[in-house]
Structure 1
């Protein structure tokens, strides 16, 4: 008797559920959308179950479809890990690591941490994906990436914290800004009187800032909202305003004296943490495990502030 769960059809189902669209899944797979539709329809016939709900904006898996999607995800992750471990029998001569992170970690990562790692393991390759907090968690939970670096994540049973280091949100300003000359930690009410740049609400720094505003009953009205820490750097360096970020995200600017990090007198902002996450229950390939240990030991973000 043939197996009704055909791996190729299962992949078409997985990609369609992942993208929420048969057409987008077909583009990613390099096939005609009609091929994807026919293969999923055949899988539904073989299993006598509806696997996708079709609606005007795309598709989403049914309960039965989600069961198969999770099965495929586990199977793909186990297969990738097994292949990686087979390569590692020869040592870390080959291998690939998928890393997803918030932009604030980029400068730190690209400094001594990654360069030193590659000098030690020159044959390993790494892909870097920039994302907001929720997308970092999703990429790790879905086994799309091995390691995630993010700031102030919500609790999620799907992820495991490998390191969580206190990195307070500070006021980032030019040294000649009036708030830099107060000689004390600033209060949110102090910041409210000046032009402010912030990240979009999907980012951990902005989510935490919103909680701090509620706790003090202070409403901040950003003049600039962006997805880029680099844009916030230029906003502040150009004397257009101030921002609120962890100091490690602009460490080079602080080191060269163009910016300063001033403590903020708020317990929520003072207790914020930088996290390194992996999926709960997943055993990382050796190459990813080596990089994980390296990042925790070498990056400024994971050294106590």
Structure 2
């Protein structure tokens, strides 16, 4: 065949991303037989199997994956075209998809978004919170224009637009014994106190695990969570300490409620915060303006000489 029916490809996409034909049908508000028939028709037209059915749903074949990637890129290009057409009206309207780790939220809300919306009040932003791995996935799959991520692994499809060293810190109350040390705390000092750590899908926990291996120290967290807010509340309640980069607690440090102590460890001292986009994707003007705003105004992307005085180095 000379053309591919994009409407039928959408049925395939929804079935695979939803996990089953029935789930796709529910999402599209139609009968499952319609979805199944459209996929079968597409397989017939292309003369190749696109999905494999199993007890819990469907998964794509190699050919199915190719069509799903095609559909994602097609939707991304279409979305970018709509935005660019809007940009001809002077950025009076438009939408940006942003995905980030929770640790960036207080930094982002402190000034960057306020300043951005003063300049471009007609633009809208969708903000998703995710762990490191999911941030990279959403950017790679064009579900987000921009990602903010801490300690990301090297990923061929990802382009880093800014990378700034943001050491891992021990987050403690102002009167904690670690603040009385005459030196930066070592990992063994941290291990002596009850800890709150993030789940393993987060960049903070992944780099901590590597540091544990290097020092042959095993940290046993009293609390494991997927919420940085929970870690901060744990520390402020006097239940123990947390391990986070300083920018995740900027408001609390500025208010004097918490102190961020840089840990004396070569690996933890060299961790970076990144702003990322998909390699090869040309951002719409609105998204590019937001990217420039974040790089120039977020504390997470200032070097160590420009950081808060609440961080003890």
Aligned to 2:129: 130
Aligned to 1:44: 43
Q: In structure 1, what is the Cα distance between the partners aligned to 2:291 and 2:28?
A: 31
Matched, 1:63 2:62: yes
Residue aligned with 2:111, SS: helix
- Post-superposition shift, 1:83? 1.5
Aligned to 1:83: 82
| Cα-to-partner distance string for 1:74-131 (whole Å, 9 max, x where unaligned) | 2111111111111111110110000000000001111110011001100000000000
Q: In structure 2, what is the Cα distance between the partners aligned to 1:110 and 1:28?
A: 33
Aligned to 1:54: 53
Q: In structure 1, what is the Cα distance between the partners aligned to 2:3 and 2:54?
A: 26
Residue aligned with 2:256, SS: coil
- Post-superposition shift, 1:45? 1.3
- Post-superposition shift, 1:4? 5.3
Q: In structure 2, what is the Cα distance between the partners aligned to 1:261 and 1:54?
A: 51
Aligned to 1:73: 72
Aligned to 1:19: 18
Aligned to 1:93: 92
Q: TM-score, normalised by structure 2?
A: 0.95
Q: In structure 1, what is the Cα distance between the partners aligned to 2:236 and 2:31?
A: 49
Aligned to 1:184: 183
Aligned to 1:252: 251
Q: In structure 1, what is the Cα distance between the partners aligned to 2:20 and 2:202?
A: 26
| Cα-to-partner distance string for 1:262-290 (whole Å, 9 max, x where unaligned) | 11011111000000000000001110000
Structure 2: give runs of 5+ residues left out of the alignment: 305-313
* Alignment coverage as a number of residue pairs: 304
Residue aligned with 1:28, SS: helix
Residue aligned with 1:164, SS: strand
Aligned to 2:232: 233
Aligned positions of 1:201-212 closer than 5 A: 201-212=200-211
Q: In structure 2, what is the Cα distance between the partners aligned to 1:33 and 1:19?
A: 13
Q: In structure 2, what is the Cα distance between the partners aligned to 1:126 and 1:199?
A: 26
RMSD value over aligned CA atoms? Answer: 1.2
Aligned to 2:267: 268
Q: In structure 2, what is the Cα distance between the partners aligned to 1:174 and 1:120?
A: 38
- Post-superposition shift, 1:35? 2.0
Structure 1: give runs of 5+ residues left out of the alignment: none
From the superposition, tell whether residues 45 and 4 of structure 1 become closer, same or farther in structure 2 (CA, over 3 Å): farther
Aligned positions of 1:275-294 closer than 5 A: 275-294=274-293
Q: TM-score, normalised by structure 1?
A: 0.97
Aligned to 2:117: 118
Q: In structure 2, what is the Cα distance between the partners aligned to 1:258 and 1:209?
A: 24
- Post-superposition shift, 1:3? 5.1
